[in-house]
Amino acid sequence: MAAASQIVPERYSRQILFAGVGPEGQEKLRQAHVAVVGVGATGAASASLLARAGVGALTLIDRDFVEESNLQRQVLFDEADARESLPKAEAARRKIAGFNSEIEVRAQVADLAPGNVHELLGGAEIVLDATDNFETRYLVNDYAVEQGKPWIYAAAVGAYAATMNIVPGETACLACIFPEPPGGAVETCDTAGILNSAVNLAASIQVTEALKWIVGARERMRRTLLSCDLWSNEWSSVSAAHPRPDCTVCGARDFVHLRGEGRPHITLCGRNSVQIHEHSRPVDLAEMAERLRPHGTVRRNEMLLRFERRPLTLTLFQDGRAILQGTTDVAQARSFYARFVGS
């Protein structure tokens, strides 16, 4: 992916004045390519900051679409995006084009998976995690360690924010710190709520660390898992300076998640929803809309279709992937999909 052809000096003049960046650093930013996995709350904030800083090329990857409940914290979206149910990656691309037309932004409306991770992340020099699940984070970790590529973990829920830099061969990887995914019930934005200030804190720290990497100030990068609770004013820092010798990923280089072993084809997707991603096939959305219209309410744009037949709402993407809202019953979701879309 080609970066922008020239720097607009006045646009970045205040950033260039900062000694840590300067003219040479700004040129490195112009030539850089960053991938952001997940363009929800943290991802939208991080993408906005990267674009405004003049990172020349961005790949934005997200499987979801804009809803009204997103607007409290997801800074690249507006009410029109929610009304149209625009895919978040595409809505973000359009907003960024409105305030920085000098950079290149590629929107990928996709679920990052073992089958596409090399294609979607291949051109980026650093990957920023802004996902909402550990399944995808472990996949990114496997990919990054395999490729020797840095990535930055970030999370926010409630008033809590956390972030960690992973530099393969130098620091601990995600599996060094969390050999297994968190057990038991895990709080999400849908269950614990979220402060937009926690989101923006996580994104600001994450992007600053990415800028350090890009401009060459790598000795300044933090080597800890940093977490904080803005409501209770509690901060903690756990060393991640060195890989764990017995780590199965960066030590033994056993990339279970990259191989897709045990990866479910149907997953819970938050907000009383189920995602079906076992089908990978092109869907003619216009034809599907005509077929579904006698059975319920249909809305469509060029990237997705929404079909409401109470109590469920089906959002169908061009690649056959779907999100069923109104249930957490996997069997019910599969049956609804098979009935109206096909098995």
The whole-number average pLDDT for the span 98-104 is 97
- Indicate the pTM of the whole model: 0.84
- What is the structure's pLDDT at 3? 47
Locate the domains of the chain by residue range.
13-259, 266-340
Catalytic site includes residue 173: no
Q: What is the 3-state secondary structure (H, E, C) of the chain?
A: CCCCCCCCCCCCHHHHHCCCCHHHHHHHHHHCEEEEECCCHHHHHHHHHHHHHCCCEEEEEECCECCHHHHHCCCCCCHHHHHHCCEHHHHHHHHHHHHCCCCEEEEEECCCCCCCHHHHHCCCCEEEECCCCHHHHHHHHHHHHHHCCCEEEEEEEECEEEEEEECCCCCCCHHHHCCCCCCCCCCCHHHHCECHHHHHHHHHHHHHHHHHHHHCCHHHCCCEEEEEECCCCEEEEEECCCCCCCCCCCCCCCCHHHHCCCCCCEEECCCCEEEECCCCCCCCHHHHHHHHHHHCEEEECCCEEEEEECCEEEEEECCCCEEEECCCCHHHHHHHHHHHCCC
**pLDDT digit string, tens, across residues 16-42:** 999 999 999 999 999 999 999 999 999
51: pLDDT confidence band, cut at 50, 70 and 90? very high
The whole-number average pLDDT for the span 78-101 is 96
183: pLDDT confidence band, cut at 50, 70 and 90? low
pLDDT at 108 over 90: yes
8: pLDDT confidence band, cut at 50, 70 and 90? low
pLDDT at 184 over 60: no
pLDDT at 343 over 70: no
Q: Which of 173, 176, 189, 269 is catalytic?
A: 189
5: pLDDT confidence band, cut at 50, 70 and 90? very low
**pLDDT digit string, tens, across residues 270-289:** 568 888 876 667 889 999 99
pLDDT at 185 over 60: no
Q: 266-340: which CATH architecture?
A: 2-Layer Sandwich (3.30)
Question: Which CATH number is correct for 13-259, 3.40.640.10, 3.40.50.720, 1.10.10.10, 3.30.420.40?
Answer: 3.40.50.720
